[in-house]
Structure 1
């Protein structure tokens, strides 16, 4: 790969935005469009990887025609750069040699500090930051990378995963580029930070509805970097997040992962340990365990949370693990466990008491309210369920909070027997319109 090759995150972002979440899916779409255009050119996953890594910066003539038809824009809009003529290249190299170190340093920190960094112009900044990251190190670099990741996580909670994902990928590229050239001590810290970022990217993929293999890839990357950084607690935390990402139909795997997070050769801090016990309770409910078994797991969660030595802080991507896990959040998640255990009245009681009292980001409130609506259906309160579902939909629609919308579809199915009731009909119609749009 050329020494100055830089990941082409504009192309990655454009592909994800159009629904091609994996390189394999993009290759299949490319092949279909090439046949429509009667182009003989074919590509492989390896070729897509070369485009996205920056190893290949300008597609051939046939590929350019297919790509322009697929994305509806010129190649420059996808992050590709037309090769320079020899004279231009010599001028560029000379200019690079004359650039002063402190100018480059200020430029890098300025590029990385752009916020909220959620559009394609900002993605260009991050691509440049990836290139510059190789030349700097130390606390200043780590501080800016941490701030950038925390900003992306905060924005995701407010406006959703689709805009945040390209930026998060760009930041990870900067972390990876800096780590490759860093001294051992700094490399260790960068890999630990990269593990946090990779776990966030797995979460964002999950909330966009990406295929399971894409989510699994980033969970694997997070565990690899955590292991290389010697961060065993983060390794356990990723196991917890994998348990949370497990499908409801695979409760046995969910339970295994949640138990591994608490029982493995690592020590989770009290707050994420409490969350892991709560996840065990949900998995137990899904496997058909009795409500008393579910309650015992929730008691373990409360005991673990009681060992936390301070009030919960603001939830961040790079701060203490699980620092935003509060008693209110545990109680709302306990309501989900009781819903899964078939105790809908108990679930509704907990939702009513703690959902109103808790301070939750819009994404979390949308998800918990969607769960509440489902519990209301099971408790034979369809009109109130439809009202709660409408409240959740109002939060989730514009930001496209994927997990909340998935739960709302579950509620809509449960409400099918009450489809003629006005509130139910309105909710199901609005959800259907959103799906079509």
Structure 2
């Protein structure tokens, strides 16, 4: 992917800010608005993708009318570039600050904590980005803090709240890197690789189409390659393996293996996670249990080589610093579940979910996996009760992967639909899906 092929972050942030979390949602809302305005033009998801990729730089007259009605702002504030003259030639590069109505939600924090970036801080950040040739500004510090706060927001309240912030940060990084001196440019792109990997995860968990997830994974690998960060390149391969659907276990296995065998060296903690992902993929391909267990042993060995952590893990800190022994154990339970050894999976879940501390999203996901293992182990009532716990954790934040796992549990519980706990869970899941 060429470096200049950066998504139009402004229109992406604006549509997410308005609640259109997928390109399909946005295309549908566009068509509804067009009908209300009595415009004949309709758009496809392909056209939305062209706008967001920057391939289409200036909408036609009918589209401009609809977009202005939807967002209430000029086209330039959605990242489009007005042609210099009717021939359609592009004007010179023009940078504008993000419009305040987009910033307000995009860059504000959540809960009772301080904002990720209030409007004053955002103005400082954008100004710093535009003056990135100077060495006496704390541009990287602003961006790192903002990215770390966005990652924490995701773990607490979900991808829909964190995604606009991350897209805004990536827009600032891309803008600053174009004019920065070499040393600062390298640091910006290294930080951008972290942010792009996070953006890929957030898009996936928010239910975005697969090409959006792939785009950000590719961008993360490109920036990691440009900065010579082989470990980050390998880490993105691991994250791609984790983002691979369980029905494509061979690809999942290839990606996870590449993370540990390529021309790079992963630090011990993400190396352990890559071995665990290999074990899950092996289980999904029908490998023998002793091979799955042996691969998990490799994960424990790698984790045993890791230095102790100091303080809470952050998005911009050491790679994979959040990977702990307790996380490896609950993910091992997932591997045994995939291998069909449900009693062993249930035993591991019961022990380690009860004793370990996880962020709300992670606890919800592991609890959803636990509910599925309980169904397979012949405990449908406990499975339904456990699934309700996960659903309660996931509903407000709309943790996408958790909800997907709970739908999987609901399908497994279908033969037990007459049991009161099962019926209650399935009814609640339907209500959440409808909402």
**Could you say whether these structures have the same fold, taking a TM-score greater than 0.5 normalized by the shorter chain as the test?**
yes
- 1:133-212 equivalences in 2 (<5 Å): 133-136=129-132, 137-138=134-135, 140-212=138-210
Number of matched pairs: 401
Residues 200/380 of structure 1: CA separation in 2 closer, same or farther (3 Å cut): same
Residues 127/242 of structure 1: CA separation in 2 closer, same or farther (3 Å cut): farther
Residues 78/400 of structure 1: CA separation in 2 closer, same or farther (3 Å cut): farther
Tell me if 1:249 matches 2:247.
yes
- 1:301-316 equivalences in 2 (<5 Å): 301-311=299-309, 313-316=311-314
Residues 338/416 of structure 1: CA separation in 2 closer, same or farther (3 Å cut): same
**Is the contact between residue 223 and residue 238 of structure 1 (CA under 8 Å) also seen in structure 2?**
yes
Residue by residue over 1:402-422, the C-alpha shift from the partner in whole angstroms, topping out at 9 and shown as x without a partner, is 001100110111111111111
Residues 147/273 of structure 1: CA separation in 2 closer, same or farther (3 Å cut): same
**Is the contact between residue 234 and residue 266 of structure 2 (CA under 8 Å) also seen in structure 1?**
yes
**Is the contact between residue 10 and residue 78 of structure 1 (CA under 8 Å) also seen in structure 2?**
no
Residues 32/395 of structure 1: CA separation in 2 closer, same or farther (3 Å cut): closer
Query: What TM-score results when the alignment is normalised by the length of structure 1?
Result: 0.82
TM superposition outliers: structure 1 runs of 4+ over 6 Å? 42-48, 50-57, 117-121
Structure 2 portions without partners, runs of 5+: 1-5, 82-96, 98-103
> Secondary structure of the residue that 2:249 maps to in structure 1?
helix
**Is the contact between residue 374 and residue 385 of structure 1 (CA under 8 Å) also seen in structure 2?**
yes
- 1:249-288 equivalences in 2 (<5 Å): 249-288=247-286
Q: Which residue of 2 aligns with 1:362?
A: 360
1:116 to 79, 86, 109: 109
Residues 55/140 of structure 1: CA separation in 2 closer, same or farther (3 Å cut): farther
Residues 425/174 of structure 1: CA separation in 2 closer, same or farther (3 Å cut): same
Q: Distance in 1 between matches of 2:355 and 2:116?
A: 38
**Is the contact between residue 369 and residue 389 of structure 1 (CA under 8 Å) also seen in structure 2?**
yes
RMSD value, Cα: 3.5
Q: Distance in 1 between matches of 2:42 and 2:238?
A: 41
Q: Distance in 2 between matches of 1:7 and 1:260?
A: 27
Q: Distance in 2 between matches of 1:124 and 1:412?
A: 47
Moved more, 372-381 or 125-134: 125-134
**Is the contact between residue 131 and residue 177 of structure 1 (CA under 8 Å) also seen in structure 2?**
no
Structure 1 portions without partners, runs of 5+: 1-5, 84-103, 105-110
- 1:34-433 equivalences in 2 (<5 Å): 34=34, 37-40=37-40, 62-67=62-67, 71=70, 74-75=72-73, 79=77, 116=109, 126=122, 129-130=125-126, 132-136=128-132, 137-138=134-135, 140-311=138-309, 313-433=311-431
Q: Distance in 1 between matches of 2:120 and 2:29?
A: 25
Residues 351/150 of structure 1: CA separation in 2 closer, same or farther (3 Å cut): same
Max radius of gyration: which structure? 1
**Is the contact between residue 249 and residue 282 of structure 2 (CA under 8 Å) also seen in structure 1?**
yes
> Secondary structure of the residue that 1:75 maps to in structure 2?
coil
